Structure formats: structure tokens, C-alpha cells
Structure 1
């Protein structure tokens, strides 16, 4: 491990330790893993190995916290179908900035900003840093197959999109998953694992899974569960700006993880999500 990797491990552990708004599994939320998802990509119930929802309980008091409130206000601002041009209203721009303002007040984002300034990857001035974040996450771009701006990093990663009405792309956030499942728009199909991946655990914070949403299938997705919006936003921003690679290895708490982070034109996040490599021995 070289010095830059070691430094990144240290700062990611700091992000994890500073995430005071993280929910505790078994106490603040409970999930039901049920069966292992089959590899067949279909909305047919014959391939559903989970007859019940993924989430059995979430203490929704957490959603009253400022960053959660600001995050949730953004989830209804997008057209889910990739290829459908996005129209950003003045109200939505205000909501985007309010979310940035709220996360910038948290320890994970302050740690991230300090580290990026030290590495000369971000401006020291807070307002200039927010402008950089806005460009990375909220500026629209044309996703593959579209000629007009129809997507953004935030929409893809945190809200989710559909392609051709049949396939779910992006959608790597547990809050959106919980809220959409509660509304009846998500059908959890089971957990995903293979011979190289650890068995999922209802009391751990990372899960690979299969689900359907708006008649489209997400054959395999991977998400953090129970973490705060500011933790994910900070971690993904950090990985995007510090690494030109598409996979960034990090290690924190009980987890060894690869953060997949695809750039779009080197200016925007195309997608980003965690892949659990193994559990660390405590």
C-alpha cells in the first residue's frame, strides 16, 4: 500500500467515525434478507425469492434531521426515464443548494473538504467548494443514447433511473429504496451474493440486492444501509476527486470495500456505489 492509499484509508475511517447520524441496525432499522435472488432478470413473481419487503422497520424520526430533510426534498425532482430531458426549476435549484448547505455543516463533509484542500483538489473557500460540488453532482449531462441533458450524478446514484422502461440503472441509496418500497413502488427480489462475496448480514451496513422499480428490474445493485446522506455524499466526492481509477479500495470499521466510481467527461459523476469485498476481523 502506498502513502496516498494509506492516507485515504485514514480519512475514510474518519468519515465513518464522524457519521453521528448513522442508524444502528436492529435498533433504528431492521431488514429481512429472506432468499438469495435468482439470476434471471424478470419482473415475474416466479423469480421472487423474497415474499416480504426488505425493510421491516425504520425509525422515521431520523428523517426530521436537517440533512435527511434536505436530501428527501430532492428525490421528487427528476424524470426517472433516461432519455427524457430534465427541466430544473428555480425551486429545485434552491433545494439543491439547501442540501449542499446542510451537508457542508456536518463533520464528514468538513473532513472531506479539509483533505481535498490539502491535496489541492478543491478550493479552500467554502462557496467555491460548493460550486465544485454542484458541478460534480447536479449539472445535467446527456447519458448514453440521449442527445439532450437527461441525467446528473445525483439523480443516477441517489434517485435512480430507468432505461427503456425495462431496466433500472443507478439507484444506490437506502433512503430512496425504503421510501419507494413503503409507497409500493419497489419489489425486493432477494439478496445477491456469489462465491467471491461475503454472505450478507442483516446487521451490517452494506448489501447487494435485486429489486424491481416502476416495471424495471435492477438485476444487481449494491448500497449502504443506515448511513447518513452526508456520509455517502462525502465518501463518493472524495473517491471521485482523489482517484482517476474506476475502483477505489477503502477499509473502515468492519468492512473492506471497493468504491466503484465512473467519471463522466472527467467533470461529473457517472455512477458510484460500494462493493463489499470482505468483512474485517474485529
Structure 2
């Protein structure tokens, strides 16, 4: 367990998030379904490549296609333009793909539990169809992330930012924003679009010792990487978890947590789940790895 005296977990959120974690039966098994090669560590302020090899040395691709939520999730990842400021064009097929994923996610116990929890608190509709419509608006409804775009020219969504990733900037001052999903990372790495630079020590670690080094069974990592030459100085992601778990977790925190940092205990992890709200829209959500997080 972490951590410093400033870590004061929200008990109610911790309870429901731990229940969601335990219900994530589609989570892949480290060392069996996938293997990671952490290599060297780096810092947010550093740009030296500390990893010659990819992060993922093995992933069971069959499972990614056999588990419905994984399969439908992967189908969504090529539906977006990487560049912010470029209006997204959503086809009828892409809308159908969004609903296929949401429908599959709602068949899982983890998403059903999230719905029951939020509905009991009267934060979302009790009716499942209406809840799915609320999920669609939260995750897939487009909005403008870039100032100066014309009316109706929307370039982003919660799903794109959190799970797919975006890039912004000009010439030599470009960066990756969002991109907090391990499946997208693996697939982009496999396609040759990701250059993994090394793991970043959990927040609060100033002098890295052996006990601070993550192991292959760690389900939460902070990473530095380049995506199609654009840099992500640090990005935290769950590793091996199902897409429905992550969506359920961030949805629960969005509706019942607070904007910004939410201190939460999830099983053996003390984490911050950060939520950035843009009115009634999800701007971003991601986990922050803290010190002493080894299971």
C-alpha cells in the first residue's frame, strides 16, 4: 500500500471500485495471456530512450478476438483522427460499432454493477436503455477540444481522448495527449507506431530502489513513449484490464467523484483516478500510480 500522509482515500468510491476490480473476470493474466519487458526507467523531464525493445513481449491475440468486449473495443480504435483540430466524421457504421461495444459491455457484471451503484444514488437513469444512452453521450458524443473551430466542427470525444489518444502542437513542439489504454498501446506498438522509452517511477519516488521497480504482474504502470514521433512524457495506464472495467471505473468516478484527483484504494493499489470534466462531457480520465504500489 502507499503512501504519504496526503493520501486520504474516499471510502465509498474505494468500496465500489474494488468491487468492480473483483468483477473484472475478463482481465488478462500476466505471464500467461501477456508478458511485458519493462527494461530501464526514465523521468518525465528526461528524453533518453531507456528501452531498446517493445514493452509487450507477448500478448494472446486470440483472446483479444474471442472476448466480445475486447473485439468490439478494438473495432473502435481506428475511427478517429489523431490530430486535434481536425473535425471528426462519424459514419453510420462507426455509430453501429459504438453501440456494439456498449451493448457487449452492458452484458458484463462489472458494467451492471456500475449501473446499479450509480442508479441507486440517482446519478444515472435506472432504466438500462436510458443508462446506455447516457453512456453514449458521455463517451462518444463529439465536442470541440480546440479553440477557434467553427460551429459544429467537433474534433474530440471522451472515448477518443482516454482510450485512443490524440496529438497536438506544431513541428518540433508536439505532444501526445490522453492515450491511457494498454490495448491501444499494444496494437500501435505491434504496428510499429509506438517507441517505448521506459517506465516512469510512481509519483512520490525520488530515489529509485529495487522495491520501486514494477514487476511483470503489475497492473498499473506509468510509461514514456513516442507515438508516430509525437512524445508522451508520462502516461499512466492499467495493464491487462478489460475495456469494460476501465469504462465502468471512469464512469463511476465521473458521476460520483469530483473533478480532478480522486484518492481511491483498489484491491492492493492506492491510486489517484483523475477526472477532467468539460461541463457535462468527459474531458479526460486516467489512473496515477503512486509509491509502494506493488501487489
2:277 corresponds in structure 1 to: 263
Where relative contact order (Cα < 8 A, 6+ residues apart) is larger, the structure is 2
Q: Secondary structure at the match of 1:121?
A: coil
Matched, 1:205 2:219: yes
Is the deviation greater in 211-220 or in 271-280?
Answer: 271-280
1:254 corresponds in structure 2 to: 268
Q: Report the Cα offset of residue 200 of structure 1.
A: 2.5
1:178 corresponds in structure 2 to: 186
So what's the TM-score if we normalise by structure 1?
Answer: 0.93
1:272 corresponds in structure 2 to: 285
Q: Distance in 2 between matches of 1:101 and 1:35?
A: 40
Aligned length: 274
1:187 corresponds in structure 2 to: 195
1:128 corresponds in structure 2 to: 130
Write the mapping of 1:80-95 to structure 2, written as runs, cut at 5 A.
80-95=82-97
Counterpart of 1:118 (choices 117, 120, 145) is: 120
Matched, 1:233 2:234: no
Q: Distance in 1 between matches of 2:203 and 2:286?
A: 20
2:257 corresponds in structure 1 to: 243
Q: Distance in 2 between matches of 1:275 and 1:207?
A: 8
Q: Report the Cα offset of residue 201 of structure 1.
A: 2.5
Structure 1's 195 and 275: CA in aligned 2 closer, same or farther, altered over 3 A? Answer: closer
Matched, 1:150 2:151: no
Q: Distance in 1 between matches of 2:121 and 2:45?
A: 45
Q: Distance in 2 between matches of 1:180 and 1:270?
A: 23
Write the mapping of 1:23-102 to structure 2, written as runs, cut at 5 A.
23-40=28-45, 47-63=48-64, 64-102=66-104
Q: Distance in 1 between matches of 2:286 and 2:105?
A: 19
Is the deviation greater in 242-251 or in 204-213?
Answer: 242-251
1:223 corresponds in structure 2 to: 237
Q: Distance in 2 between matches of 1:127 and 1:100?
A: 11
Structure 1's 104 and 120: CA in aligned 2 closer, same or farther, altered over 3 A? Answer: same
Q: Secondary structure at the match of 1:188?
A: strand
Is the deviation greater in 23-32 or in 70-79?
Answer: 23-32
Q: Distance in 2 between matches of 1:152 and 1:39?
A: 26
Q: Secondary structure at the match of 2:21?
A: helix
Contact 1:257 1:278 in 2 (8 A): no
RMSD of the TM alignment (CA)? 1.7
Structure 1's 223 and 195: CA in aligned 2 closer, same or farther, altered over 3 A? Answer: closer
Q: Distance in 1 between matches of 2:161 and 2:44?
A: 23
Q: Secondary structure at the match of 2:155?
A: coil
Q: Which runs of 5+ in 2 are unaligned?
A: 1-8, 206-211
Q: Distance in 2 between matches of 1:217 and 1:50?
A: 15
So what's the TM-score if we normalise by structure 2?
Answer: 0.89
